[in-house]
Amino acid sequence: MKESYDAIIIGAGVIGAAITLELARKGLKSICVDKVGEAGHGSTAGSCALIRPFYSTLDGAAIAWESHYYWLKWAEHLGVEDERGLIRYVNCGNLVFKSELNNNMVPVMSILDQLGCPYDELSMDEVVARYPFVSRSSFAPVRKLDDPDFGSPNGEELDGAVFFPHGGYVTDPALSAHNLLRAAEAAGATFRLNTKVTAICKAQGRVSGVKIDGGQEIVAPVVVNVAGPHSFKINAMAGVEDDMAIKTRALRHEVAHVPSPIGLDFETHGGHLSDSDTSVYCRPESGNHILIGSEDPECDERIWVDPDDFDRSFSNQWQLQVMRLAQRIPELKIPTKLKGVVELYDVSDDWIPIYDKSGLPGFYMAIGTSGNQFKNAPIVGEMMADLITACETGHDHDANPVTFHLKNIDRTISMGFYSRKREVNQQSSFSVRG
């Protein structure tokens, strides 16, 4: 006998778990399936889990600022306990250095002014007073290690930075997905892990469920693709790509994990620093370590991969990212033992996600999350639940996009911004910055 549900969610990362929770809260009998054995143990676990309001688009910034309040009130949002404990949100703020590449943050500040989101402009004197371990020098343009001028200051100083008080990072991204799993189970949802989807089933012109390893079919009138880097493979199974103006693919990326400089308590005196002048960002990690990610400069190769077959060993990119941060933090040492994460981004053509229905009735997508949507997961859960219930009761989202109210910042947005049919958004940074 076939199992029957109201909705099947493919992917138990932080966004898939959040969507499962919100559909269950709306009364849908929901099941979330994932081929790995733990919620959040795919690309979610490799996330730096940054919470920040600065994006290159108004809609992106609005949701990102709103997300801060969900993480700040995480226990209230969940409404349940987790035997593994709840995540910790470190609200240390975000510092972004002004540079030529980010136009001295003028466009971002203009966006946040429209939203009423607070920030402070700091001179380099004020930056160094707050973070005495950073260099004032500009090293632009961003260079590769084999460039003879790599690491050489260009003779100018940075113009300062912008500090955002409503931001920081979540200490354990995988645990956040497990927290959501427990909340979803309490709301009536089911999770089936170690379960691979092998086909999308259709009947009478709409989705009818999925097939899983072993040939079993799970029946549901709604299927939601939240498969992260595998999203394009699930879309191909569903045959929905011809209806999409924006597509997704998997991008390999590395995050370095290094000790803080001797004598520097980076967990206490550091924070989330974003530096487009050297094209890296960093944040504290437990044990007085530092996580270092790349801001994807044009000079670096982008390695698009098959998510089922890619190299998980560190490359020269690891050392490059550490040495780029060492330009900004001169006392940083370059370890001989390489630690960190090699994972995948799920990237859309313009690095803005797709939160939408598809051309196949009943098949929905929360994909293209591009390494910068972890923070938005709890809101995306609510947005997608609203979108799905509206469309399943006859609303024409393509003609009249569903709107969503951001309750904490009191702003209503159109989910049409995330449409699969949109043109490439030229306001995007076309990078992990969003």
Q: Is residue 207 within 8 Å of residue 360, measured between CB atoms?
A: yes
Q: 403 by DSSP, 3-state: which?
A: strand
Please state, for a pLDDT cut of 90, what percent of the chain lies above it: 97
pLDDT score of 371: 83
Q: What is the pLDDT of residue 2?
A: 84
Q: What would the two tokens of residue 309 be?
A: 């077959």
Residue-wise pLDDT tens digits, 33-59: 999 999 999 999 999 999 999 999 999
Taking the C-alpha atoms of residue 189 and residue 186, their distance in angstroms, rounded to an integer, is: 7
CA 139 from centre of chain = 28
Residues in the chain: 434
Q: Residue 155: its pLDDT value, please? A: 97
What domains sit in the chain, N to C, each tagged with a CATH number? 3-85+172-247+350-418 (3.50.50.60), 94-165+251-344 (3.30.9.10)
CB environment 372-385: b (16+ within 10 A), e (fewer) = bbbbbbbbbbbbbb
Look at residue 294 and tell me whether its pLDDT is greater than 70. yes
**What b/e readout covers 152-180, taking b as 16+ CB neighbours within 10 angstroms?**
eeeeeebebbbbbebbbbbebbbbbbbbb
Predicted pLDDT of residue 434 = 80
Q: Which of 154, 148, 149 is nearest to 99 (CA)?
A: 154
Tokens for 38, please give them.
Answer: 């733990």
pTM over 0.95? The answer is yes
Give the pLDDT confidence of 178-219 residue by residue, as tens digits.
Answer: 999 999 999 999 999 999 999 999 999 999 999 999 999 999
Strands 7-10 and 223-225, bridge-based pairing: parallel
Q: Give per-residue pLDDT as tens, 321-366.
A: 999 999 999 999 999 999 999 999 999 999 999 999 999 999 999 9
Which percentage of the chain shows pLDDT scores above 70?
100
pLDDT single digits (tens) 378-432 = 999 999 999 999 999 999 999 999 999 999 999 999 999 999 999 998 988 888 8
Please check the confidence at residue 1 and state whether its pLDDT lies above 80.
no
Type of residue at 179: N
pLDDT digits (tens, 9 = 90+) for 254-273: 999 999 999 999 999 999 99
Q: Are 162 and 96 in contact (CB under 8 A)?
A: yes
